C-alpha cells in the first residue's frame, strides 16, 4: 500500500512536469501488475493533468490572452463544441505531448470537467497497453508483450480513423456554413 501511494504521488508530480504517461503506465504494470498498474497510472496521470491544467489557467492564461489573443480565440472556438470528444481524440493519438496539451487546454475556456473526463477516457487504451507491456517484462510473459504491441497498433489505427471522421465532419460543417441560403 505504501509503495502504491509513493508511486501515485511521484507519478502525479512527474507527469505534471512532462514525463510521458506511457513510462508511468509501463512502470505501474511492472511494479503492480497489469490491472492495478493501469488504475494507478491512469489516476496519477489524470492527477498530473489536473495540476498542469490549473497551473496553466492561473499563470499562463493571462499571458496568452494578452500576447496571442487571436490564436487563443481560434483554439477556444475549436474546443467550444464537443470538448470531451475532441479531448478523447487528442488523448488517443499515439503522438503528442501530454503536458503541452494540458498547458494549452488550461489557457483556454474549455470546461475543466469535459477536459478531465475526455482525458481520463482517452488515456485508458495506451495506459492498458503499456501497463501490460510492463507486466510482460517478467519472465514467461511473452504473450503479454505480443498482445500489448498488437493493441498499440490497433489503438493507433482506431485513433487515426476517429481523427479522420472528426476532420470529415468539420469539413462538412464548414461547407454547410458557407453555402448560400435559398
Confidence of residue 49 (pLDDT cuts 50, 70, 90): very high
φ and ψ at residue 178, rounded to 5 degrees: -90, -10
Q: How far is residue 150's CA from residue 157's CA, in Å, rounded to a whole number?
A: 11
Q: How far is residue 84's CA from residue 42's CA, in Å, rounded to a whole number?
A: 17
Task: Report in angstroms the alpha-carbon separations of 117 from 29, 36, 52, 69, 101.
Answer: 23, 20, 15, 27, 14
pLDDT for the residue numbered 72: 77
Asked if pLDDT for residue 74 goes beyond 60, the answer is yes
User: Where in the sequence is the domain holding 9, given as residue range(s)?
Assistant: 2-178
The count of residues in the chain is 182
Domain count, the chain: 1
Stated pTM of the model = 0.74
Buried b (16+ CB within 10 A) or exposed e, 89-124: bbbbbeeeebbebbbbbbbbbbbeebbbbbbbbbbb
Asked if pLDDT for residue 33 goes beyond 70, the answer is yes
Q: How far is residue 110's CA from residue 115's CA, in Å, rounded to a whole number?
A: 7
Residue with the larger pLDDT of the pair 82 and 17: 17
Asked if pLDDT for residue 92 goes beyond 60, the answer is yes
pLDDT for the residue numbered 157: 74
Is there a contact between 21 and 129 (Cβ–Cβ < 8 Å)?
Answer: no
Q: Which long-range contacts (CB under 8 A, 24 or more apart) does 72-79 make?
A: 72/107, 72/108, 75/104, 75/107, 75/108, 76/108, 76/109, 76/110, 79/105, 79/108, 79/109, 79/110
Percent of the chain with pLDDT over 90: 26
Q: Measuring CA to CA, which residue among 15, 95, 85 is closest to residue 49?
A: 15
The residue behind cell 513510462 is 23
The residue behind cell 498499440 is 152
When mean pLDDT is compared across 39-43, 69-73, 104-108, 140-144, the lowest value belongs to 140-144
166 burial via Cβ count (<10 Å: 0-12, 13-18, 19+): middle
Confidence of residue 160 (pLDDT cuts 50, 70, 90): confident
Residue with the larger pLDDT of the pair 115 and 160: 115
Amino acid at each position: 500500500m505504501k509503495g502504491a501511494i509513493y508511486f501515485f504521488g511521484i507519478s502525479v508530480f512527474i507527469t505534471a512536469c512532462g514525463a510521458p504517461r506511457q513510462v508511468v503506465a509501463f512502470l505501474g504494470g511492472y511494479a503492480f501488475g497489469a490491472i492495478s498498474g493501469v488504475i494507478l497510472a491512469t489516476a496519477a496521470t489524470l492527477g498530473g493533468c489536473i495540476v498542469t491544467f490549473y497551473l496553466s489557467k492561473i499563470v499562463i492564461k493571462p499571458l496568452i490572452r494578452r500576447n496571442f489573443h487571436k490564436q487563443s480565440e481560434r483554439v477556444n472556438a475549436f474546443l467550444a463544441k464537443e470538448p470531451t470528444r475532441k479531448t478523447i481524440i487528442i488523448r488517443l493519438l499515439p503522438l503528442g505531448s501530454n503536458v503541452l496539451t494540458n498547458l494549452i487546454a488550461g489557457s483556454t475556456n474549455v470546461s475543466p470537467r469535459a477536459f478531465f473526463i475526455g482525458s481520463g477516457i482517452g488515456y485508458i487504451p495506451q495506459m492498458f497497453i503499456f501497463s501490460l507491456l510492463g507486466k510482460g517484462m517478467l519472465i514467461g510473459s511473452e504473450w503479454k508483450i505480443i498482445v500489448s504491441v498488437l493493441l498499440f497498433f490497433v489503438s493507433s489505427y482506431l485513433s487515426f480513423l476517429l481523427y479522420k471522421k472528426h476532420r470529415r465532419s468539420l469539413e462538412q460543417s464548414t461547407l454547410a456554413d458557407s453555402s448560400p441560403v435559398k
